[in-house]
Amino acid sequence: MDKMLPKDVSELNAAISEMEEFRNPAYRGSMENYRSLMEGINALHEVEKYDVVFIGEPGMGKTTTICTWLGLVRKDPEGLKSPESAMLLSVRQGRTTVAEVRIRQVEGRSRILLEYGTIEAQTAMIRNYCSYYYGKFIHAAAEEEDEEDGATEEDVHSEVDRVIRNMARLSSIPSEDDERFGKIRECLEKLGSFEAFFETVMDRIDLEERDLSEIGFDGSDSFERWLSKTFEDINNGKNPRCAIADTITIEVGREDRDLRLPDYVGDVIDTKGLDTSARMDLQDLMTSDSTVVIFMDRINNVPSKTNRALVKKTYLGEEYRPYAMKTLMFVRATDDELAAVNEAEGDPELGKENKINEFDRKKESENVLLYSRNVLFVDSHSPFETVSFMEKDEAGKLKKRTRITGYNDAVAEAFREQVQGGISSAIGFLRESLEEDADRIRENVEALMVLEEDYENTCGAEELDRIC
């Protein structure tokens, strides 16, 4: 064989795809298989920019980690009660975002873009919530509606609850011994039926008028105040022009805040809180060639049952191994928590080692396709310097409080480097594996080419014998 195949992945893919069909029928199936494998390897290998996707249960710290990483925090947080309150995308009233949030760096000024579901889909969510709300006060009606619509308390996600309740200007549900409970029940009874209540809520919300798709930053206020207030109002259903968002895209102008994203990062995606493994939206993101996925988890159960279930449902076999290679697990943990890990003997590094061993045992016993080399222990609160003190609450009871006293830029930079280092390492892990796979295919195809050449020579000699 005179010609060797190129080692470069893209060039090798082109060379194999352009090869003529083998004359020997015994090798054609193998060649088609190698051709298909190389196309998949090349598609993954040629990706130059990745969207970074954060997945986790509500309250797991996705938004806080993203904000600390990207520097979307208040420049002067002193006096605030907690690190969460210093985040420019603070969820405050809720533990999670109501929609998928995409953050990207752009040139020029900042703006927020909004995408909504159909009116029909939003109406169905509102009806579901109304059934839940009405049933809390009018039990007989609730049972009737449950039979008709199948609505239960568990069907209504807390973040959507909050948005719809605020859009409709409804009171939160008090306990039955609260005098407000009786007053709300009396109002609902006066309406006469669930349908009358539902129509009243729909009139209050007025979905047709809630069609705002873009909110720009005009510079009349500080960028921090604009982003914090605008996002909070959207996320809590308090902007009268906004409906129930499916996707919130935050375009951050470089002149307003430089996110300092590396060239290989496109959008940063904060997904809606994971409360079930049946999430096709997340599975699509996990199996995209151009995403890096980061699961957020807690230190006491890594990976958590919910995270394990989603991974097992998505990464079903060896063909999904490349996607698992660019999937990371961020475990929220302070040094004190790591030092307190069983048998860590007060050493945070030993605590990490013990937790990694626990992670390996769990994923192997349950056949979860993840890699311990992609596990990072992160503390998104680490840049914030705080003090604790005791203070009486409204009832006169002493409660432990915290207050931010400063922000350590050096620690924040170290956190940024840790996050970006983890992402870069996972991408490198994948690319190295793809190149090794491509090398094996190149060697196998070259071996087939030798056999095909021998076959052609034999056929040629037999043809010559017949002619002679």
| Residues 440-460 pLDDT 10s | 999 999 988 888 776 655 655
Give the predicted TM-score (pTM) of the model: 0.89
The per-residue pLDDT for 431 is 98
The per-residue pLDDT for 145 is 43
Beta-carbon contacts of residue 68 (< 8 Å; ≥ 6 apart) = 83, 87, 380, 381, 383, 412, 415
Domain range spanning residue 164?
Answer: 119-208
Do 96 and 160 belong to one domain?
no
- The answer for 243, left when phi > 0, alpha when psi is -120 to 50, beta otherwise, is beta
The per-residue pLDDT for 2 is 56
Distance separating the N- and C-terminal Cα atoms of the chain = 27
* 202-205-206-208 Cα dihedral, nearest 10 degrees: -110
Cα separation of 182 and 376, whole Å? 51
Do 361 and 392 belong to one domain?
yes
Kindly state whether residue 369 falls inside one of the protein's structural domains: yes
Question: CB pairs under 8 A, 24+ apart, for 131-140?
Answer: 131/194, 132/156, 132/161, 133/165, 133/170, 133/173, 134/188, 134/194, 134/197, 134/198, 136/173, 137/181, 137/184, 137/185, 137/188, 138/185, 138/188, 138/189, 138/194
Do 101 and 124 belong to one domain?
no
Residue 75 structure tokens? 């420049």
Kindly state whether residue 352 falls inside one of the protein's structural domains: yes
Do 275 and 305 belong to one domain?
yes
Kindly state whether residue 271 falls inside one of the protein's structural domains: yes
Beta-carbon contacts of residue 155 (< 8 Å; ≥ 6 apart) = 128, 132
Do 361 and 290 belong to one domain?
yes
Nearest to 56 by CA among 426, 336, 378: 378
Number of domains comprising the chain: 2
Kindly state whether residue 437 falls inside one of the protein's structural domains: no
Do 367 and 269 belong to one domain?
yes
Last residue of a domain, one of 183, 208, 233: 208
Do 276 and 369 belong to one domain?
yes
Cα separation of 312 and 84, whole Å? 32
Do 388 and 340 belong to one domain?
yes
Kindly state whether residue 37 falls inside one of the protein's structural domains: no
Kindly state whether residue 426 falls inside one of the protein's structural domains: no
Do 130 and 81 belong to one domain?
no
Kindly state whether residue 20 falls inside one of the protein's structural domains: no
In this prediction, the residues of the chain whose per-residue pLDDT falls under 50 are: 1, 94, 140-156, 461, 464, 468
Do 200 and 321 belong to one domain?
no
Q: What is the DSSP letter of 344?
A: -
Radius of gyration of the chain (CA): 28
Last residue of a domain, one of 145, 178, 208: 208
Last residue of a domain, one of 208, 232, 266: 208
The per-residue pLDDT for 398 is 87
Do 146 and 82 belong to one domain?
no
| Distances 188 to 84, 133, 148, 195, 421 between C-alpha atoms, Å | 37, 10, 19, 11, 56
> Could you tell me the CATH number of the domain that includes residue 387?
3.40.50.300
Kindly state whether residue 100 falls inside one of the protein's structural domains: yes
Using DSSP, state whether 276 is helix, strand or coil: coil
Do 130 and 176 belong to one domain?
yes
| Residues 420-442 pLDDT 10s | 999 999 999 999 999 999 999 99
